[in-house]
Amino acid sequence: MSSKAAWRTQRERSNLPTLRLMVWISLSFGRRLSRLVLYGIALYFTLFAPRARQASRPYLQRALGRTPGWRDHFRHILAFASTIHDRIYFLNGRTDQFDIEVYGAEILHAALAEQPGALLIGAHLGSFEALRVLGRERGGLAVAMLMHPDNARKIAQVLAAINPAAQNDILPLGQPDSMLAARDRLDAGHLVGMLADRGLGEDPKHLAPFLGQAAAFPLGPWKVAALLRRPVFFMVALYLGGRRYRIHLEPLADFSRVAASEREAAMHAAIERYAERLSQHCRQTPYNWFNFYDFWKTS
């Protein structure tokens, strides 16, 4: 089995009743008090989840430029737990709990002024929910996510436990009307997001330099972008600790201007730009990338 699909075989340790309890505690007692639980969770996973720690090591070593220590693994898991916890507040409209900086919004708005809708390509880096809620509440932009059906079902269950209305922002891929649904959202001026740092085992890949070594990135999200013929932006909402997030929106490609004969080359070039931007943000905020498996392993 390809290691690129190894993330699909890893069982989630959380469950919906526990999540619902955490939602109640967080909304009833506030973010500062409920965050205290996260330190115990991070310590538990640092000590008793060796697979995640071992998979975290090759990434942290590249991102930090040194051998990671125990504290690095703890900070990595704590950052992950923090973004999951903050998801509760973002999806319930509690954005007043956070200090959020935004870079690149003017470029996105300029692209939207030329034609409706744009695609946002992200990664398991930071918090997508921070970007989605910010777009809806501060920019007047609705944001939907395209994802594989298995992931869509799992995420819908999580969203139902946090805020049922948020399920409407999930568009499953692989359905007969998937592209039509995405196109309709784009035509209505919405943003449609995809994460492009995980693929299914059978998905075709493109090798691109990432943190000093070639890594295989799935072509699927870029084929979707080429079919939908919209400008594509790199998106990331980085967790900086405490209540601070920093959002970056950076242009990657504009498939509305690419001829059919040039699409494949344009997709490869976009993936390489994506990998370069991902590398830079991982080095600047190394504890924000949450792919807990060996991303570079090829067999």
Residue 299 lies inside a defined structural domain of this protein: no
Residue 216 lies inside a defined structural domain of this protein: yes
Do residues 111 and 99 touch, judged by C-beta distance below 8 A? Answer: no
pTM of the model: 0.88
Q: Which residues pair with 193 in a beta bridge?
A: 120, 145
Q: Residue 109 is part of which domain span?
A: 3-288
Residue 107 lies inside a defined structural domain of this protein: yes
Q: How many domains does the chain have?
A: 1
pLDDT value, residue 149:
62
Do residues 119 and 194 touch, judged by C-beta distance below 8 A? Answer: yes
Q: What is the CA radius of gyration of the chain?
A: 19
**Tell me, what DSSP letter sits at residue 67?**
-
Residue 174 lies inside a defined structural domain of this protein: yes
Residue 39 lies inside a defined structural domain of this protein: yes
Task: Give pLDDT tens digits along the chain (299 positions).
Answer: 444 444 344 444 445 676 777 788 888 888 999 899 899 989 998 888 888 788 789 999 999 999 999 999 999 999 999 998 998 898 888 888 899 999 998 999 999 999 999 999 999 999 988 887 767 666 667 888 888 766 656 666 766 677 777 667 788 887 778 899 999 999 999 999 999 998 766 778 999 999 999 999 999 999 999 999 999 999 999 999 999 999 999 999 999 888 888 999 999 999 999 999 999 999 999 999 998 888 887 53
Can you read off the two tokens belonging to residue 162?
Answer: 């946090």
pLDDT value, residue 289:
95
Among residues 293, 290, 286, the alpha carbon closest in space to that of 52 is found at 293
Residue 297 lies inside a defined structural domain of this protein: no
Can you read off the two tokens belonging to residue 150?
Answer: 């298995």
Residue 18 lies inside a defined structural domain of this protein: yes
Cα-based distances in Å from 81 to 43, 168, 229: 11, 24, 36
To 5 degrees, how large is the angle CA 125–CA 131–CA 136? 165
Do residues 234 and 126 touch, judged by C-beta distance below 8 A? Answer: no
Among residues 42, 114, 121, the alpha carbon closest in space to that of 84 is found at 42
Residue 165 lies inside a defined structural domain of this protein: yes
